[in-house]
Amino acid sequence: MHRRLTVAMAGLVLSLGLAACGSDLGGGGREGDVETAEADGEASGELYIANWPFYIDKQTLPEFTDETGVDVTYREEVDDNNVIFTKMQPLLQGGDSGDRDIVVVTDWMAKKMYDLGYLQNFDQEAVAPAKENLVASLEEPSFDPEREYSLPWQSGMTGLVVNTAAAPDVDSISDIFDPKYKGRITVLTELRDTVPLVMKAMGVDPADATGDDWLAAIDELRGAVESGQIRDLTGNSYTNSLARGDAAIAIGWSGDAVQLQSDDPDIEFVMPEEGCILWSDNMVIPVGAPNPTAAYEFMNYVYEPDNQAQIADYNYYLTPVDGTQEELEKIGSEAADSELVFPSEDYTADCTAQPEPPSESVEEIEEEFQSLITGGG
Amino acid sequence: MSRRSTPYALLGPGFLWLAIFFVIPLVFMGVVALESGSLDQGFAFTWEFSNFSTSLSDFDTQFVRSFVYAGAATVLCLLIAYPLAYFIAFRGGKYKNALLLAVIAPFFTTYLIRTIAWQTILADQSPAVDVLQFVGVVQDDGRVLDTAGSVIAGLTYNFLPFMILPIYASLEGIDKRLLEASKDLYASASTTFRRITLPLSAPGVIAGTLLTFIPAVGDYINADLLGGPGQAMIGNVIQSEYLVLKDYPVAAALSFVLMALILVVVFVYIRFAGSEALMGDEADAPAKVKL
């Protein structure tokens, strides 16, 4: 008995060891064999959605469940594209999504995950009703020209979020380097938001910036961090700094400003005179997603203009769904007239689609930017 | 089972636990630390010792900062905890249990929430900072949040109970008759404290400082929430290497270097604390007294 126990335990240790050996961390993409997540009959069962904070109102999910009978687990677990990627990567490597059916990530991350073979193509027939309502400007993004594997959740603008009581006449990105606001500036830890805006302030067009341009902008930021001009680099938590009054100017996202206004009417989104960065966060279906049928049902549901209006009325981001403005007018929402939700061409004239660093220097640029965040030299 | 093998059998579960959840993961971490490559191309084992040297040379500032912050927090914890534990043990009377509960009470709220609460308490316009500015601890246009002070204060606050409890336990265990005997022999209160109480509570002090210092060096929540980029500790660097840059080998090497440095510091400390240097010529007094 005793001996058998020992043998069993030794076996356990050995198999754990071997299992750990077998799973190599990271490693090669699986390009060329992207699977399609087929829809199968009526949507039912459970649906797990991983999304960013402050992105959905309180009614949409219960109403969706009432209408379709699909139970939704909705987690606001995406605070940073890199972090959700690393969290899911060891699972995705083994073809498992950790039960997630829909994950919402920004354009560049969607492409990166797709290239690594971590995403599935959409069943085009199943998602056709949603695509019918997709606004024309988002139909052919460069990273997924036929929307084979991604569908926008919301789009947004990265610009300045300002406490106008503390900083009344801010209109340019250069203002974050103004000594008047020393120690009261925060910028985002998202490389592709913060650095392109600084490049704009330096007179460089981020759309065709070289690796050196990116590094020069990071250097500019480093100077401001070391002198104490910039107080902190943060994710979504910059909203707390603004709300507490610690930060006067933040590089931030358009929709957040509106949500902060309910507590503090002085907080506003300011379109910098240099323009903004435009991006979309996209719904994608990871490999191993257990219930793609329900995922398509949800996509089609939120792409109904009246359902979308409810979400837009809450989060004030740019809506990707045609006909939402009319629906917002019907319910008397102020979002219908907001430049943040329906920007005029004039308003976004100088904005740039979120750029990607040149591929040959992306690694160096990311390292430099991280060393800025962790205070290294 | 023979009588001789019983002790080993009793050790079995503990060893197995350590093997599965410590030794094996440690081996894999060591393997990862010697790999090279990237997530996109895959990592390969290449005896990449340079991961260790880069860890030290690129992040020496953060290593030094981590040890300084953790050291400062440990000293502050000790200065706050010892008198408090002393009071509870010797003057607590019937309130002893209530006081101990008060020490543990903050644990009922999660660590994260308590640290986030400090963001509000130490915000630039908060009354607490106004008071600090008024008494001149903080300059009039200065701030507390996002400075070294707030990170050290956060560490001190969060690890304080780990210092109080072991010191309390060792003070509580002191035989009160020894103190009476000392008094009978005309020792002054300070002599009694120096020659009886302090040496007998030394094990608690050592346990408390280790329980505070070791987790504090590797902490990243306090630096993340209460500090800015200039206060980043080594935990923040490991987090960024692992979660953002996905440079798993460097992250693993950093963890190894941190572990080695902590071991060295702790080893030196225990040698030092266990010798006459810390306790004066009473280093072996506890043994004598017990006889």
Beta bridge partners of A152: A282
d(CA A144, CA A140): 7
Q: Do A27 and B245 touch (CB under 8 A)?
A: no
Q: Do B43 and A25 touch (CB under 8 A)?
A: yes
Give the per-residue pLDDT at A83.
86
Asked whether the predicted pLDDT for residue A229 surpasses 50, the reply is yes
Residue of B nearest to A370 (CA): B240
Burial A230-245 (b: 16+ CB within 10 A, else e): bbbbbebbbbbbbbbb
Strand segments (E) across chain A: 36-37, 46-50, 71-75, 102-106, 121-122, 151-163, 185-188, 230-234, 249-253, 267-270, 277-284, 352-353
Token code pair at residue A182? 């020393």
Strand segments (E) across A34-83: 36-37, 46-50, 71-75
Q: Calculate mean pLDDT across residues A23-29.
A: 42
Q: Which of residues 187-216 of B touch A (CB under 8 A)?
A: none
d(CA B112, CA B119): 11
Q: Which residues of A touch B40 (CB under 8 A)?
A: 28-29, 116
Strand segments (E) across B174-252: none
What is the dihedral sign for C-alpha A317, A321, A326, A328? negative
Q: Do A26 and B37 touch (CB under 8 A)?
A: yes
Give the per-residue pLDDT at B284.
46
pTM above 0.90, yes or no: no
B244 CB near a chain A CB, below 8 Å? Answer: yes
Give the per-residue pLDDT at B142.
85
Within a domain: B15: no
* A133-170 tens-digit pLDDT: 999 999 999 999 999 999 999 999 999 999 999 999 99
Instruction: Please report, rounded to a whole number, the percentage of residues in chain A having pLDDT higher than 90.
Output: 80
Nearest by CB to residue A375, choosing from B143, B231, B246, is B231
Q: Crossing angle for the helix pair B248-273 and B24-33, nearest 10 degrees?
A: 120
Give the per-residue pLDDT at B41.
80
* B239-274 tens-digit pLDDT: 999 988 889 999 999 999 999 999 999 999 988 876
Q: Do A370 and B1 touch (CB under 8 A)?
A: no
Q: Do A244 and B37 touch (CB under 8 A)?
A: no
Nearest by CB to residue B229, choosing from A28, A85, A233, is A233
For B219, the 3-state DSSP assignment is coil
d(CA A72, CA A205): 42
Nearest by CB to residue A232, choosing from B32, B41, B228, is B228
> Using CB atoms within 10 A of its CB, is residue A213 exposed (0-12), middle (13-18) or buried (19+)?
buried
For A14, the 3-state DSSP assignment is helix
Non-local CB neighbours of B116 within 8 Å, separated by 6+ positions: B225
Within a domain: B262: yes
Q: Which residues of A touch B16 (CB under 8 A)?
A: 9, 13
Chain pair A-B, CB pairs under 8 angstroms: 114
The secondary structure of A230-248 as a DSSP string is EEEEESTTHHHHHHHTS-S
Backbone phi and psi for residue A159, each to the nearest 5 degrees, phi listed first: -150, -140
B79 CB near a chain A CB, below 8 Å? Answer: no
B243 CB near a chain A CB, below 8 Å? Answer: yes
Q: Which residues of A touch B143 (CB under 8 A)?
A: 183, 246
Whether residue A211 contacts residue A357, with contact meaning beta carbons closer than 8 Å, is answered with yes
Q: Which residues of B touch A365 (CB under 8 A)?
A: none
How near does any CA of chain B get to the CA of A16, in Å?
A: 8
Q: Which residues of B touch A12 (CB under 8 A)?
A: 20
Q: Calculate mean pLDDT across residues A301-308.
A: 96
Look at residues A144, A377, A157 and name the one whose alpha carbon lies nearest to residue A279: A157
d(CA A4, CA A17): 20
Which domains does chain A carry? 36-149+285-303 (3.40.190.10), 156-278+351-373 (3.40.190.10)
- Tracing tokens 């007094």 back to the chain, one arrives at B285
User: Looking at residue B159, which CATH number applies to its domain?
Assistant: 1.10.3720.10
Within a domain: B11: no
Beta bridge partners of B43: B37
- C-alpha angle A315/A321/A322, rounded to 5°? 130
Number of structural domains in chain B? 1
Whether residue A291 contacts residue A101, with contact meaning beta carbons closer than 8 Å, is answered with yes
Q: Calculate mean pLDDT across residues A79-91.
A: 89
Within a domain: B87: yes
Q: Do A245 and B228 touch (CB under 8 A)?
A: no
* B53-73 tens-digit pLDDT: 989 999 999 999 999 999 999
B228 CB near a chain A CB, below 8 Å? Answer: yes
The secondary structure of A279-318 as a DSSP string is EEEEEE-BTT-S-HHHHHHHHHHHTSHHHHHHHHHHH-PB
Q: Which residues of B touch A20 (CB under 8 A)?
A: 24-25, 28
Nearest by CB to residue B229, choosing from A16, A21, A225, is A225
How near does any CA of chain A get to the CA of B264, in Å?
A: 24
d(CA B154, CA B148): 10
Within a domain: B125: yes
Q: Do A245 and B236 touch (CB under 8 A)?
A: no
Asked whether the predicted pLDDT for residue A17 surpasses 50, the reply is no
Asked whether the predicted pLDDT for residue A27 surpasses 70, the reply is no
Within a domain: B30: no
- Give the mutation candidate from A1, A5, A12, A25 for the B interface (greatest B CB count, under 10 A): A25
How near does any CA of chain A get to the CA of B6, in Å?
A: 12
Give the per-residue pLDDT at A314.
93
d(CA A290, CA A48): 9
d(CA A318, CA A156): 6
Q: Crossing angle for the helix pair B198-218 and B148-172, nearest 10 degrees?
A: 140
Q: Calculate mean pLDDT across residues A280-308.
A: 96
The pLDDT-based confidence of A235 (bands split at 50, 70, 90) is confident
For B136, the 3-state DSSP assignment is coil
B245 CB near a chain A CB, below 8 Å? Answer: yes
Lowest mean pLDDT among A9-23, A290-304, A315-329, B38-52: A9-23
Residue of A nearest to B43 (CA): A27
Lowest mean pLDDT among A10-14, A192-196, B87-91: A10-14
Domain holding B73, by residue range, is: 62-290
* B184-233 tens-digit pLDDT: 999 999 999 999 999 999 999 999 999 999 999 999 999 999 999 999 99
Q: Do A244 and B125 touch (CB under 8 A)?
A: yes
Within a domain: B73: yes
Q: Which residues of A touch B20 (CB under 8 A)?
A: 12-13, 16
The pLDDT-based confidence of B148 (bands split at 50, 70, 90) is very high
Answer with the residue of higher pLDDT: A337 or A16. Answer: A337
Give the per-residue pLDDT at A64.
96
Within a domain: B27: no
Beta bridge partners of B42: B38
